[in-house]
Amino acid sequence: MRIYDRTFSSRMMLGTALYPSPAIMQAAIRAAEPALVTVSLRREQNLSAPRGPGFWDELRALGVAFLPNTAGCHTVKEAVTTARMGRELLGTDLVKLEVIGHADTLQPDVFGLVEAARVLSGEGFRVLPYTTEDLVVAERLVEAGCEVLMPWASPIGSGLGLNNRYGLRSLRAQFPDVTLIVDAGLGRPSHAAEALELGYDGVLLNTAVATSGDPVAMARAFRLAVEAGRLSFEAGAMEPRDMAAPSTPIFGKAVL
């Protein structure tokens, strides 16, 4: 999976919220073997509070790269300020950019998203915007400097899976050279495999792993599903058809 000028062997990103304990979070990350782990930031946060230095030490001990996240930001100013804080605290130009526009569905404010992406790209950030599958919005984000797009599958934390396969398929076809990562709404490993089978470069998830009955086992399940989905895409999975097609040849069968 290519993220700007870096290439990762894993096609999965994993969030760090909602786990029952730090130890389970660590074990789940080890099981997932993700390319990046996302960490949300708040304006008052530093590396010793409020989560405490142990949280950051535990993450660093895993040897996984950080992806700061502007989760929960509702304005351009708030998102840009949070992104700058993330770069200062974590020493990375990567940022997952969220500008939320709807409180119930957590649908992104695509107008503010494009504006914030343009500002941050101009400041040297490498922006991964959480967006919809809208082709026009995608075009504006690419024009703003984004080399990676992160369209949602369905609302954050819903577990509904890929609500608009047509839209996601169209986005993949329209932007063949842009890294596309499905973000939000993946509830089962089969949802992740489905995204990879559509030709997407990767997935980002959190809730489906962290709130499952066994986060470690679920993290491994998602890892295997991502690998299977990509292998299926590369192998050329058969297209569905309306009629049955016999797998056994008619020629040479016994005739009474």
Measure Cα distances from 201 to 147, 196, 241 in Å. Answer: 13, 7, 26
The annotation status of 163 as a binding-site residue, yes or no, is no
Question: Which amino acid makes up residue 143?
Answer: E
The annotation status of 157 as a binding-site residue, yes or no, is yes
Give the chain's count of helices (H) and strands (E): 9, 10
Catalytic residue among 11, 96, 172, 230: 96
Question: Which amino acid makes up residue 107?
Answer: Q
96 is catalytic: yes
Neighbours of 24 (CB within 10 A): 16
Look at the chain and count its residues. 256
Beta carbons of 16 and 48 less than 8 angstroms apart: no
The annotation status of 252 as a binding-site residue, yes or no, is no
**Six token digits for residue 205:** 């998830």
| Residue 147 burial class via C-beta count within 10 angstroms: exposed 0-12, middle 13-18, buried 19 and up | middle
Among candidate residues 37, 11, 3, the one with its CA nearest the CA of residue 233: 11
The annotation status of 207 as a binding-site residue, yes or no, is yes
Beta carbons of 191 and 218 less than 8 angstroms apart: no
Binding-site positions read 157, 184-185, 206-207
Binding-site positions for 1-deoxy-D-xylulose 5-phosphate read 157, 184-185, 206-207
Question: Which residues form the catalytic set?
Answer: 96
